[in-house]
Amino acid sequence: MAVQTMREGACDFLQKPIKQETFLPAIERAIKKDRQARAGATDMIHERHILASLTPREEDVCRLVAEGLTSVLIASRLNISKRTVDVIRTAALKKLALENLMN
């Protein structure tokens, strides 16, 4: 029963009679675990919101930058000018709050 309970997400398994010195720390661990899970979920929601703010062209440029392509190669692949790539890259940097994206 203890194994099944833990698989279903329990933080601890306490047997009766429950003593205060084991019960309160178990509650504290459960609260801490829940806060960490919620913080991670909040971060993920925030990141998805930021990514959703990118235009399709900014997404294209970011994907190619992530692949390691230079601005010249990105421009050639997307059939746009290098200057346009640089402008799009700058806009994406601001939205993503990144200091530098590979040149």
**Residue of higher predicted confidence among 78 and 48:** 78
**Residue of higher predicted confidence among 88 and 38:** 88
As given in the structure block, the two tokens for residue 8 are 């279903």
Q: Using CA of residue 78, residue 82, residue 87, residue 91, what is the dihedral sign? A: positive
- Categorize the per-residue pLDDT at 55 as very low, low, confident or very high, splitting at 50, 70 and 90: very high
* pTM attached to this predicted model: 0.54
* pLDDT at residue 80, rounded to an integer: 96
pLDDT reading at 103 higher than 50:
no
Separation in Å, CA 73 to CA 45, 60, 79, 80, 100: 32, 13, 10, 10, 18
Q: How confident is the model over 12-54, as pLDDT tens digits?
A: 777 788 888 888 888 888 888 888 877 776 677 778 888 888 9
